Amino acid sequence: MIIAPSLLAVWDKTGGDVAEICRIAQLLEAAGADWLHVDVMDGAFVSPKTFGIESLRAIRGSVKLPLDIHLMVKNPQQVIEDYIKYGRAGGKEMRVVIHPTAAKPQEINACLQFLAAEGITGGLALDIDEDIDWIDNFSAQITQILVMTVKAGAGGQAFRPEMLEKVKKIKQKWSDKMVIIDGGINDKTISYAAKSKVDGVVAGSYVVGAENYAEAIDLLRRGG
């Protein structure tokens, strides 16, 4: 199972101190994280505002791990090129997921086509209230689906197990897609993820708040 610690939890912990975020990102890399998940919020699509271009640039320069960029922004077509420029600087791997309701369908489609043309893994992120029917519109352009198991935005929320029914339906209909869940993942809720056979989890507060990052990551990877 892929374990992607969420840097949003680090942002919250440090008050957005970029130097400290980069330091902790390096520790998470050394502790065995597979990806680092970066929640880019514009303060409009969701609040608050986090991870601007310069902070992403600093993070990318501090670690080699793939960055899993979750664009929670209105009109992602206006910023996606800049985030790609810095997210893959130095030839490093990155992935980008966007919300289907963040812009008009043709603009979401254009973003996904752009990612594909650039050789970057693209995907859809589905919030609690975003239906899986959106996948039909973009299935040819995506390889990854991020299913929110909390409401997109603030970290530290409680896991919503009913969202695993959404995961089940996605895996039945789009078995070729990688499914990642995001929100409320800890040593208790990871068993839900393991049973639902997701490909990976985004974990924030549980990992970042642990005394030993490596032990926390290993426990999640083993499914509890």
Active site residues: 39, 182
Distance CA(84)–CA(69), nearest Å, equals 9
Q: Six-digit token pair at 172? A: 């039945």
- What is the DSSP code string of 65-91? SPEEEEEE-SSGGGTHHHHHHHHTGGG
Q: List the one residue out of 148, 141, 143, 196 whose CA is nearest residue 172.
A: 196
Q: List the one residue out of 115, 117, 71, 69 whose CA is nearest residue 95.
A: 69
DSSP bridge pairs for 4 = 202
Neighbouring C-beta atoms of residue 211, cutoff 10 Å: 6
| Spatial contact of 5 and 203, defined as CB atoms under 8 Å apart | yes
Q: Six-digit token pair at 103? A: 């812009």
Q: Show Cβ contacts of residue 101 under 8 Å, excluding neighbours closer than 6 positions.
A: 127, 130, 134
